[in-house]
Amino acid sequence: MTKHSDIFTPDGYLENLQDRLMSIPAREKQPSLMTRVMPYIAYAASLVLLVVLGNFILGKTAVSADDTSTADDWTYVSYLAQSLDADCMLPEIPEYTLTEDDIVNYLVDDGLTLEELVSYEENH
């Protein structure tokens, strides 16, 4: 069973085809203006998008001066008033005097050798 093809080439078309193709002068393709500018347009668009999204997000999360409530103002005022009152100040921390035993214990805990400790004891 043979199939007949509806596609055919004219007589002599394939002869010297390579030579005819090689004789066509090569043209340098110049990129269009849009092809050269497109990366810059994409960069600019992404920058604008980042600025718009950043503004939108920061605008939603920022608290303006009008949004503060009166209760917050009074809380701040009462805190300020308490900090100025002498009765509300922190109690004084009692004085602590260091003893020689405290110093020796600190030096031992810090990794002081026995020779260094004896030298310390002799000097003091």
Residue 22: pLDDT over 80:
yes
Least confident residue range of 4-18, 26-40, 41-55, 85-99:
85-99
d(CA 86, CA 46): 58
pLDDT tens profile 62-104? 665 555 555 666 677 676 666 665 555 656 667 778 888 888 7
Indicate whether 80 belongs to any domain: no
Structural domains of the chain, count: 1
Indicate whether 110 belongs to any domain: yes
Indicate whether 22 belongs to any domain: no
Give the domain range for residue 120. 98-124
What does the pLDDT read at residue 24? 86
Indicate whether 29 belongs to any domain: no
Indicate whether 23 belongs to any domain: no
Indicate whether 106 belongs to any domain: yes
Indicate whether 74 belongs to any domain: no
pLDDT tens profile 45-57? 999 999 999 998 8
What does the pLDDT read at residue 49? 96
